[in-house]
Chain A
Amino acid sequence: MSNYLYILWIPLLPLATFVVLGLFGRKYFAKSAGIIGTASLLTSTLLSFVAAKQYFFEDGKVNGVYQKIIALKYTWLQFSPNVSIDMGVIVDPISVMMLIVVTSVSLMVHVFSLGYMKGEERFATYYAFLSLFTFSMLGLILSVNIFQVYMFWELVGVSSFLLIGYYFNKPSAVAASKKAFIVTRFADLGFLIGILIIGFYGGTLDIGLLIEKFTSAQSPEFISITTASFLGASMLTWGLVLIFMGGAGKSAMFPLHIWLPDAMEGPTPVSALIHAATMVVAGVYLVARLFPVYSMDEAALTIVTYVGAFSALLAAVIACTQTDIKRVLAYSTMSQIGYMMFALGVSKNGGENGLGYMASMFHLFTHAFFKSLLFLGAGSVIHMVHSNEMKDMGGLRKLMPITHAAFLIACLAIAGIPPFAGFFSKEEILTAAFHENKLIYGVALFTAALTSFYMFRLYFNIFWSKDAAVKAHHSAGHDDAHDHGEGTWTMKLPLMILAACAVGVGFIPFSQFISSDGAPLETHIDVVFSIAPVTLSILAILLSASFYKSHNAKSDKAVAFFGGFYRAAYKKFYVDELYLFITKKIVFPLIGQPIAWADRNIVDGFMLLLANTTAKISTAIKGLQSGKVQNYALYFFGGVLALSVLFIYIWK
């Protein structure tokens, strides 16, 4: 087994960048911060490519199966003899794959931000946060210990919080960051308890050991956890479902998805990195990481499946109605992640049945590229128009050709049109779904169609339709749009690279490298099978073209046709309002306030009552000291009598 220790540097470099920029950035690196961050990240990226090469092509495979390699493991916090939090580096197909994704996307974002964030006051801080995020994400990927996952999970959350709240004096941004953190935190509570359950029965927190123990149906741990049950479900189900709750929170699965759209308050490159390519797929990664265990529990997997499928559908429907382009992208992200989730859900562990697993990972991989491409494209559009709203856009294809081309490629990719990347991965998913569960397959198909519809709605609204509007828009003095035109090369370059990926990555023989059990998996594109989805997508594209390519009333008719349903979708089916109701109308006034009141008035009031009664008594009995010497003598005699009676007659 060769040495992978250098992988440690991949996360550590961004960490170093964070420390340096965080401490001294404001003073010394106000300008050069971007270069520093990019440079260090470039190194990590190269390293991860080296690692990938070494793992996939040189020595990762032992007699035809990719091995799990623990490159490093250090006991960080010992709880009890064999339960401990370990810091480590795991090298296996998915972790290496994620390394590639995270580093390269992050690199693109770094480069893009050089132009996009130029002249920001807290430029250095921005890069510090980016590095922090990259570090945490990489750490999460490389975790060997489920608690290590949880820690980096939290760190990812907080760095996302910091980046969403980057424009800290913008109330909406602050609110969004708060919301994102609290919702995911709530999900993490489930994750934590899940860890506690699994860890307790497994007697360890080490992922490898856990899988080992829970995949053999005879092991005492497995028996104990499956026999122990609470509210009718076995503890295994509980543990896995709770852990999935954590994943759902990060990956914005229904009903924990509400934070994702608001998260778009952050700078667009951040959205591209965190809320499109990397962090939001952490949930998928988590389930994949523990997939062998999940595969032992039917119930948990079913939940994963249906939550994923429903989220995919719901998000797609909502996306059709949104007008803020970033929000549209956000919902499409949610729906794509839904794809990955149910792909995992319908999968089995090992062999041909592991197709779903592989497909999910594949989609994760391709999605990372075209979705970040979409966001960066949207970024440069926003950079030019200074608005997120569709109505302020239109006919930009002439003004920003490169962006236009890249965006189009990305749209085609996500729509699953061959030969773009999305096509292949989505194809596998559909195949897997088709074999496992027809209902899911139907949902997936419909969602695919919707996807291509709203993506092209977006595309046409931005780059075609109402030219006049844009003309007027620009003649009205927004000449700055022309000055920096499409933005610096640092903004264009990432677009081109990612576009290339969006075209190319589909052709990687993914199943050769990644499968549920590490053994290569033979897959083939079945042309007959792919007719249905592709034609559907094309139809959807044509439909949206007829709606939005040129400004006309068709879309309004459609809106009118759907009526209430449209409004509901436009209002995101009132999930936000529901949450607001629960917090503002129930938690705060019905739990918080009563407790705060009780503390002041009942608990503290009781103490005060004691004091006051004492004072009252002392005023009440002050008459005893009447000042009349005869009464004194009388009391004296009374005392004598009392004592005599007590001690001569009663307590003799």
Chain B
Amino acid sequence: MNEIPLTHILFVSTALFFIGMYGLFTRRNIITMLMSIELMLNSVNINFVAFNKYLFPDKLDGLFFSLFIITIAAAEAAVAIAIIINLYRSHQSIDVDDATEMKF
């Protein structure tokens, strides 16, 4: 059977990564920004899995790494959401441009 070459998958993951980055740079809503970061993390996950599957199938390093990434991303998201909620309490908004009190 002819399988999808690694480069294709890498292309997808890279695209995902930069899409996430683009979202982070452009979106004003903090929640959305957080989601874009999740995208980036997931693209990394794809990388790991792909590398593992294609190049080093005998060991499972990559897979495990991606598992850990998922967990930590969850933790991170939890803390982030908490912070955002608190930010909303104090700023009455989750627009990132409203939280630019400290500068220069």
Contact = CB atoms under 8 A, between A and B. Distances in A.
Direct interface between A and B, CB < 8 A: yes
A627 B21 contact: no
Interface string B1-42: 000000000000000000001001110000001000000000
Contacts of B101: 627
Interface residues on B, range: 10 to 19
20 contacts: A622-B104, A623-B104, A625-B103, A625-B104, A626-B100, A626-B103, A627-B101, A627-B103, A627-B104, A628-B96, A628-B100, A629-B96, A629-B99, A630-B24, A630-B25, A630-B33, A630-B96, A633-B21, A633-B24, A637-B21
Give 4 nearest A-B pairs by CB, closest first.
A627-B103, A627-B100, A622-B104, A625-B104
Contacts of A637: 21, 25
A634 interface: yes
Interface string A91-117: 000000000000000000000000000
Nearest to A628: B100
Nearest to A633: B24
A622 B96 CA distance: 20
A629 B33 CA distance: 11
B25 A633 contact: yes
B55 interface: no
Contacts of A625: 103-104
B25 A634 contact: yes
A637 B101 CA distance: 23
Interface residues of A, number: 11
Nearest to A634: B25
Interface string B89-104: 0000000110111111
Contacts of A633: 21, 24-25
Interface in A604-635: 622-623, 625-630, 633-634
A622 B103 CA distance: 9
Nearest to B102: A627
A634 B101 CA distance: 19
A627 B102 CA distance: 6
Contacts of A634: 25
Contacts of A622: 104
Nearest to B28: A630
B58 to A, nearest CB: 30
Given A625-B103, A628-B97, 14 more contacts: A625-B104, A627-B100, A627-B101, A627-B102, A627-B103, A628-B103, A629-B96, A629-B99, A630-B24, A630-B33, A630-B96, A633-B21, A634-B25, A637-B25
A338 B50 CA distance: 113
A629 B25 CA distance: 9
Nearest to A623: B104
A634 B26 CA distance: 10
A641 to B, nearest CB: 11
A630 B103 CA distance: 13
Interface centre among A625, A626, A627 (most CB of B within 10 A): A627
A52 B102 CA distance: 97
Contacts of A628: 96-97, 100, 103
A626 B97 CA distance: 11
Nearest to B30: A629
Contacts of B96: 628-630
Interface string B78-98: 000000000000000000110
Nearest to A619: B104
Contacts of B97: 628
Contacts of A626: 100, 103
Contacts of B21: 633, 637
Q: Looking at B26, B33, B99, B100, which has the most chain A CB atoms within 10 Å of its CB?
A: B100
B88 to A, nearest CB: 16
A625 B100 CA distance: 10
B66 to A, nearest CB: 22
A624 to B, nearest CB: 9
Interface in A112-128: none
A628 B24 CA distance: 12
A108 to B, nearest CB: 86
B91 to A, nearest CB: 13
Nearest to B103: A627
